[in-house]
A and B are shown apart, each in its own frame.
Chain A
Amino acid sequence: MLGWELPPHNSGGLGVACYQLCEALSKNEVDLEFILPYQADHNISFMKVHAARRQGVLEILQSGIAYDSYKYIYRDGHEEWHDVYSQSKFYEHAVAAMAKDMSFDIVHAHDWLTFRAALRVKASNNVPIILHVHSVESDRAGGKPGNPLVREIEETAMLAADSIVAVSQLTKQKIVDEYHIPADKIEVVYNSVDRTKFEPASQDNSYRYLTQLKQNGYKVVSNVGRLTVQKGLVNLIHAARVVVDALPKTVFLIVGSGEQMEELISLAAELGIGANVVFSGFQRGKQWRDSFSIADLFVMPSVSEPFGLTPLEAGFYGVPSVISKQSGVCEILSSCLSVDFWDVNEMANKIVGVLREQVLRDTLSEALEAELATLSWERPAGRIKELYEQQLQRSAS
């Protein structure tokens, strides 16, 4: 298994998905070894975790997290791009060297940063490779084509791959449309959630000010995610303007960090709703949980979201969601409201509708809870194991 991050050193959902998938696979009697680009203590017992290079987490995070690939074009001094790109090259060569002394049947690689390594191992060890696509370059670039060098890696690797796993129908369609990969080579395996990993919300919410506002009749709408163009937050701020006109006692809580932070703060101010939009930065642990549980409604307005875990996380804390139709999670979740990411007025309409109707919120979160209870990593892991078996049979024959 080749991946770029695992919790607790993850920058987003990619690491969480890899971790939970691997855990479920190992329960399903798949013997895994996971190669990361960095060295760290993960406290993982269900598989061996190797470091491709002797470097700390900090170096990797400084050289750009797994999602950044388009920044380079906009910034002068190619440091940031150069670093994550060269990190992926270092990783590629290190993995290739390690693979010579390892014995394994299949390589399963997650997202483009590990794809070159997968190709190299396929060539040297003659094993099938499965590429797991959690996002493609145009997702990360918010609908624009993105970095051509990254697209080239994705395209070359996907053409050569023995099989491809896409995290949603939406992603599969993008792989077919944008990379011209035959559809029958791509399997859709939806991500899931491991509910046992959630800690319950505490009664004592760390957002004191918001708690106080709520006691005074305010409603809180939250979003948790990176502040990047992919996440569509500019539209959410515009919708917030419309919502506040209809329901002045509404506060939007934006949780996360990213290059759009300043743009979003000034946009809220320009629209005259600076006081109604609260930014709290990147959060983990209790503050992260509190960011969901304080909310009356969660909104995921992403421009392009291959899967999108946060509405499921919000659901665990009893909070219903308005979700972009341009998301994978929208394909499997019934107990939610969906909206086109570009339709600012409709987004506002739905936000107001949910905030105003208590019974709608109650019914949604009740139904959502029932739906979440049916989700687990067992089924996706079972499907992946079948894929492994198919590949092994094929290479044996």
Chain B
Amino acid sequence: MKSIVLYMHVHQPYRLRHYTIFDSGVNHDYFDAQWEASENNKRILLKVAEKSYLPTNERLLKLLNKHPEFKLSLSMSGLLLEQLEAWAPDALASFQELTATGRVELVAETYHHSLAFFYSRSEFEAQVSMHKDIVKRLFSQEPKIFRNTELAYNNDLAAWVQAAGYSGVLAEGWHNMLGWRSPNYIYHPISAPNIKLLLKNYRLSDDIAFRFGDQSWSEWPLTADKFVRWLNEDNDATNFNLFMDYETFGEHQWQESGIFDFLSHMPKEWLANKEHGFMTVSEAAASIEAVGEIDSPSTVTWADTERDLSAWLGNAMQRQAIESLYLLEKPLLQLNDWSLIEDWRKLQTSDHFYYMCIKWFNDGDIHAYFSPYDSPYEAYMNFMNAYHDLKSRILDKGLLV
């Protein structure tokens, strides 16, 4: 029996509005861009809902109804769920319809899509717990598998995941970590022998997520039967972990690229062989035996050519911004003012730091595509102006920062 483990990540940050030094100390509406502004969060969410969430969910639901074997897993950040609830209840309902089939599993993560694990363990745990609550409230599910923001993974994270009671954790199947081994099996983290490690097959995943619509790619056009043929080439595999951004469907790869047709046809092609199936992430963790241990002392993520945290924390601006932000933790929690804490947490979202990435010449254009800013320097300035305001609000309450 061979299984496809399809896992998709859904997230939208609260982008900062154009927030100047003259707003700092005066206006506290960092995330409320005017409707006309390109960084208006509601407008972006509605656009993505229309181009991606609604049409993709419609096709996924059809597939679930048509193929009882079809299954998938989703992780949805708390910030995304919040925005769907407020602005796109129809899109939220379409996700709920998927989970109601019993074959769509939700994955645990931080509510605020943050890198808190690397800066404050207690803050990290608070956000994971908030995420657990919202998933329970909206989907009546209790996640069994954990994924960290940007799939940022190392031995410490695995140990935490095991201690927190999850049965598995997701990570990038990066060759530095795997060596000669294949991601098409299940492993144990060396630091957490009781849980399973599911590793993304980045070649196959990125064929869909990044290369699908690229007409200069030698394999273009990618059809469902060609893709399934590639899977069949690995005779001994137990699982093919296809992990990607949900927005691949309709947003990163436009409808015109044929991505929806690919999605609609791939399960049927795969299931034509009786030995083939689909599994959710927790099913794979529970039913597939681990074949070995993986050691990952340094952090691996699912972005960039380096697959490390350098896209978020690689330059001095990024580190300054995030370190300054976490220095506010103590006074903020001491004040216990919910609106301050919420703004602080929204500023922790990894996207803000990604916008400050200056690795122009390798993958800079991908960064530019996803950034609401003209330049990473502007991203930093804008972020710091909001940070200064948050700090001044703490100072106003009589606390020293």
Contacts and interface: CB of A to CB of B under 8 A. Distances in A.
Given A334-B360, A338-B374, A363-B317, A353 B381 contact: yes
Nearest to A245: B22
A348 B90 CA distance: 43
Contacts of A345: 20, 22
B264 to A, nearest CB: 41
Nearest to A374: B361
> Is chain B's binding surface mostly helix, strand, loop or mixed?
helix
B315 interface: yes
Nearest to B382: A353
Nearest to A357: B384
B162 to A, nearest CB: 37
A362 B380 contact: no
Contact of A359 (B22, B317, B385): B317
Interface string B375-395: 101101100110000000000
A345 B18 CA distance: 12
Interface in A326-373: 334-338, 345-346, 348-350, 352-354, 356-357, 359-360, 362-364, 367
A149 interface: no
B380 A349 contact: no
A356 B391 CA distance: 15
Contact of B384 (A242, A337, A353, A367): A353
A367 B22 contact: no
Contacts of A183: none
A246 interface: yes
Contact of A338 (B21, B315, B375, B380): B375
Contacts of B377: 335-337, 360, 363-364
Interface of A: 242, 246, 334-338, 345-346, 348-350, 352-354, 356-357, 359-360, 362-364, 367
B272 interface: no
B375 A334 contact: yes
A213 B149 CA distance: 46
Interface of B: 20-22, 315-317, 320, 358, 360, 374-375, 377-378, 380-381, 384-385
B381 A363 contact: no
Contacts of A367: 358
B22 A350 contact: no
Nearest to A353: B381
9 contacts: A246-B22, A336-B375, A336-B377, A349-B381, A352-B21, A354-B381, A359-B320, A360-B380, A363-B380
B315 A246 contact: no
B381 A350 contact: yes
A345 B19 CA distance: 12
B326 to A, nearest CB: 16
A188 B261 CA distance: 43
A246 B384 contact: no
Contacts of B358: 335, 363, 367
B21 A356 contact: yes
Chain A CB within 10 Å, residue with most, of B315, B380, B381: B381
A353 B356 CA distance: 14
B379 to A, nearest CB: 10
Chain A CB within 10 Å, residue with most, of B20, B377, B381, B385: B377
B375 A337 contact: yes
Given A337-B375, A352-B21, A360 B381 contact: yes
Chain B CB within 10 Å, residue with most, of A345, A348, A353, A362: A353
B117 to A, nearest CB: 23
A363 B381 CA distance: 12
B33 to A, nearest CB: 15
A242 B316 CA distance: 28
A362 B380 CA distance: 13
A180 to B, nearest CB: 31
B318 to A, nearest CB: 9
A349 B317 contact: no
Contact of A349 (B21, B320, B360, B374): B21
Chain B CB within 10 Å, residue with most, of A246, A338, A359: A359
Across the A-B interface, the 7 shortest Cβ-Cβ residue pairs? A353-B381, A349-B20, A359-B320, A352-B21, A359-B316, A363-B317, A349-B21
A335 B374 CA distance: 11
B381 A357 contact: yes
Nearest to A337: B377
B21 A353 contact: yes
Nearest to A247: B21
Nearest to A246: B21
Contacts of B360: 334
Given A350-B381, A357-B380, 18 more contacts: A242-B22, A337-B375, A337-B377, A337-B381, A338-B375, A346-B20, A348-B21, A348-B22, A349-B381, A350-B378, A353-B381, A353-B385, A357-B381, A359-B316, A360-B384, A363-B315, A363-B380, A367-B358
B378 A337 contact: yes
Contacts of A336: 375, 377
A356 B21 CA distance: 10
Given A334-B360, A338-B375, A353-B385, A360 B317 contact: yes
A348 B23 CA distance: 12
Nearest to B358: A367
Nearest to A334: B360
A367 B360 CA distance: 10
A360 B378 CA distance: 10
B364 to A, nearest CB: 8
B368 to A, nearest CB: 10
A341 to B, nearest CB: 15
Contact of B22 (A335, A349, A354, A362): A349
A189 B360 CA distance: 22
Contacts of A360: 317, 377, 380-381, 384
A297 to B, nearest CB: 12
Contacts of A354: 381
Chain B CB within 10 Å, residue with most, of A242, A336, A356, A363: A363
B22 A363 contact: no
Contacts of B381: 337, 349-350, 353-354, 357, 360
B316 A362 contact: yes
A329 to B, nearest CB: 14
B13 to A, nearest CB: 21
